[in-house]
Amino acid sequence: MLTRRSALALSFAALVGAAQAQPQKIPVVASFSIIGDLVRQVGGDRITVATIVGPDGDAHVYQPSPADGRHIAQARLIFVNGLGFEGWLDRLMRAAKSKGEVFTLGNGIAARKGEEGQDPHAWQDVANAKIYVEAIRETLTAADPEGAPAYKANADAYLAKLDALDTEIQQAIAAVPKERRRVVSTHDAFGYFAGRYGVEFIAPQGVSTEAEVSARDVAKIIDAVRTHKVAAVFIENIADPRLAKRIASETGARMGGVLYSDALSDAKSDGATYIDMMRHNVKELAKALAP
Ligand SMILES: [Zn+2]
């Protein structure tokens, strides 16, 4: 017969045993919100994800915080975009003495060349997002072979949703007359979107938001808006809206809504996941470009 004390000891042992049977979640860092979402979709509950540049944040000009250093120091895997997007990363890794492995998802795609070098905004083409997801699945599987079936199931389900999203965007843009498919954004973040879906974007600022916009750049855009009958001028969630508003007011072009360029929205808005963000963008474009 068990005494009360040994019964307690047994139940404590059972509790400890149960805790040990739970696999340790893999600590993962994502450099910015969009990759954070993709990694969560594939990793599910086998991983924890800390995201460095959060919703509505601009990764081009980000200043890491001490909390970022702590996350990087604890991470086993670190997923980044590369292609010149996270200029602050190497310093952060050194400062945090990180032993985590870095995976540069942008290395897997055919990078577009901008005027100032490689264009990092690959996620704006859903086909590239699929390449990112496949790379994330492979990386997580290599780090945690026991999780292979879960990572495969998660990735398969999500890739099917991305296929549907890609078709949805193509159909929405196909419904816009060709001569209307020309818009202004603040910085050159939509080159990959333009390449896949056939909307022309012009922007006063280049592929990074680091460079100052000169009066000459703005004058050039205003000229282009007038000459090419640009249908709408868009604001971006990571950029100051004043420049876009000025271009719209000086040219009489229609003011479009907000496009999610380099970051997801916060949870209260309608772009809090990658799929929602792309849906929001195409909805705003279709609305502004309708004749
Ligand atoms: Zn950007």
| Chain segment 161-218, per-residue pLDDT in tens | 999 999 999 999 999 999 999 999 999 999 999 999 999 999 998 899 988 889 998 9
Ligand 1 center to 168 CA (angstroms):
24
The H-or-E segment that residue 79 falls in is: strand 77-80
Q: Measure the CA–CA gap between 175 and 118, rounded to whole angstroms.
A: 31
Ligand 1 center to 18 CA (angstroms):
46
Using a pLDDT cut of 90, give the percent of the chain over it.
Answer: 82
Ligand 1 center to 290 CA (angstroms):
26
Distances (CA, A) of 83 to 58, 116, 124, 189: 15, 11, 14, 13
SS3 state at 60: helix
Q: Of 3.40.1710.10, 3.40.50.300, 3.40.50.10860, 3.40.50.1980, which CATH number belongs to 173-289?
A: 3.40.50.1980
Using only C-alpha atoms, the chain has a radius of gyration, in whole angstroms, of 22
Ligand 1 center to 141 CA (angstroms):
30
SS3 state at 235: strand
> 20 or 158: which carries more pLDDT confidence?
158
Ligand 1 center to 209 CA (angstroms):
6
- pTM to 2 decimals? 0.91
b/e for 232-250, b at 16 or more Cβ within 10 A? Answer: bbbbbbbbeeebbeebbee
Check residue 13 and give its pLDDT: 53
Ligand 1 center to 253 CA (angstroms):
23
Question: Where in the chain is CATH 3.40.50.1980?
Answer: 26-168, 173-289
Ligand 1 center to 119 CA (angstroms):
8
Ligand 1 center to 187 CA (angstroms):
7
pLDDT at 228 over 90: no
Query: What's the average model confidence in pLDDT over 256-260?
Result: 95
pLDDT at 53 over 60: yes
Model confidence over 113-164: pLDDT tens digits? 977 789 999 999 999 999 999 999 999 999 999 999 999 999 999 999 999 9
Query: What's the average model confidence in pLDDT over 263-269?
Result: 97
CATH superfamily label, 26-168: Nitrogenase molybdenum iron protein domain (3.40.50.1980)
Ligand 1 center to 64 CA (angstroms):
17
Q: Which pLDDT band, with edges at 50, 70 and 90, does 8 fall under?
A: low
Check residue 114 and give its pLDDT: 73
Ligand 1 center to 61 CA (angstroms):
10
Q: Average pLDDT of the chain?
A: 92
Check residue 116 and give its pLDDT: 77
> 279 or 9: which carries more pLDDT confidence?
279
Q: Which pLDDT band, with edges at 50, 70 and 90, does 1 fall under?
A: very low
